[in-house]
Structure 1
Amino acid sequence: MAVPLGAFVAGAVVALLVGVFSKVHDPTLDGTTTLGFKDVRDMKVAVSTVIGVLAVGQVVGALWLYGKLGIRAPSWLGMAHRASGSIALLLAVFVGYHCIWAFGFQTGTVHGYEVPVRGIVHEVLACAVFGAVVVKVVAVRSKRAPGWFLPVAGGLLFALLIVVVLTSAGWYLDAKGWPSR
């Protein structure tokens, strides 16, 4: 139990530190990119949608690799699973950086508008995503962890990612449609 406990404590510390930095940092668009989209928010919606698709692919890949789909996994699937997980993580860091740097952790009234509960839930769980990444990395790398730890760590990261994507990109796509370039 020492490995999971240590991983969850380390993940909680990382999530807390990300949240504190996001709250005390003065948001600015300096040092951000739009990747050709109209603005940073539109870029984040597009990239977050890709992250959501990759996250679903990670769950399907994991189920397939562990024989839970009833069909034999091809030999290349393990490498593809690791590669797509790494890409999802890199994209999450990219989007997280832009969230923190351009918008920060917003509560109360910002620019005359009350921050919605959806936004606060998104911000809190987005910080938790980075803590869950720590937990998942420990679960993948540890040889002493109990068998239940990797699926729990993966499930936690997946659930957090999906809720974060739905409370940002999902909400935006529903309210405004696909972002413009």
Structure 2
Amino acid sequence: MAIPLAAFAAGAVVALLVGVFGKVHDATLAGTTTLGFRTVIGMKVVLSVAIGVLAVFQLIGALWIYGKLGRTAPSWLGTAHRTSGAIAVLLIVVVAYHCLWALGLESGTLPDGEPVSTRTVVHGLLGCAVIGALVVKVVAVRSRRAPGWFLPVAGGLLFSVLIGAVLTSAVWYLSAKGWPASGGYG
């Protein structure tokens, strides 16, 4: 139990530190990129959709690899699972950086006196939890001495908070404003 407890404690500390940084940091677009999209938000929406798709692939791949789908997994699935997981982590880091750097962790009221929406607050907290859960999942993947239940629990935790973050950001944005434009100016 020492490894899971240490991993969950480390993940909680990291999530808390990310939240504190997001709260005290003066949000700025300086130091961000759009990767060819018109806005940072547009870029984050597209990357978040990709992360959501990769998360679903990770879940299905893990279930298949562990024999929970009734068929033997193909030999290429392990490599595809590890590769898509690494890509998802890279994209999560890019999106998290841009969220924290450009927007910070919003709560309370905006400069114009309007209250920050509940969706925005929940999304910010879920985003911090994603980074903490990512720490837990990395420990679970790398540990050879952890109990057998630890990896699926860590993966399920990461999947749950990640999907919550995607639903409160990209899915909300797409339903409210449609697909973000790429390239061009204005």
TM surpasses 0.5? yes
Alignment of 1:94-105 (within 5 A): 94-105=94-105
What's the counterpart of residue 173 of structure 1? 174
Q: Which amino acid aligns with 1:3?
A: I
CA shift at 1:160, angstroms? 0.5
SS in 1 for 2:75: coil
Alignment of 1:3-152 (within 5 A): 3-112=3-112, 113-152=114-153
How far apart are the structure 2 equivalents of 1:61 and 1:138?
Answer: 19
State the superposition RMSD in angstroms.
0.8
How far apart are the structure 2 equivalents of 1:158 and 1:139?
Answer: 14
CA shift at 1:111, angstroms? 3.6
The answer for unaligned runs of 5 or more in structure 1 is none
User: How many residues are aligned here?
Assistant: 181
Stretch deviating more after TM superposition (143-152 or 104-113) = 104-113
How far apart are the structure 1 equivalents of 2:89 and 2:121?
Answer: 22
How far apart are the structure 2 equivalents of 1:31 and 1:138?
Answer: 30
SS in 2 for 1:155: helix
Q: Percent of pairs identical after alignment?
A: 70
Q: Which amino acid aligns with 1:124?
A: L
How far apart are the structure 2 equivalents of 1:85 and 1:3?
Answer: 22
Q: Which amino acid aligns with 2:35?
A: L
How far apart are the structure 2 equivalents of 1:140 and 1:29?
Answer: 34
When the two structures are superposed, what TM-score results if normalisation uses the length of structure 2?
A: 0.95
SS in 2 for 1:109: coil
Q: Which amino acid aligns with 2:21?
A: F
How far apart are the structure 1 equivalents of 2:109 and 2:19?
Answer: 18
SS in 2 for 1:119: helix
CA shift at 1:35, angstroms? 1.3
The answer for unaligned runs of 5 or more in structure 2 is none
How far apart are the structure 2 equivalents of 1:114 and 1:145?
Answer: 44
Deviation string 1:110-138 (CA, Å, 9 cap, x unpaired) is 24232101110100110011111111111
Q: Which amino acid aligns with 2:117?
A: P
CA shift at 1:54, angstroms? 0.3
How far apart are the structure 2 equivalents of 1:50 and 1:77?
Answer: 19
Q: Which amino acid aligns with 2:139?
A: V
CA shift at 1:169, angstroms? 0.3
When the two structures are superposed, what TM-score results if normalisation uses the length of structure 1?
A: 0.98
CA shift at 1:37, angstroms? 1.2
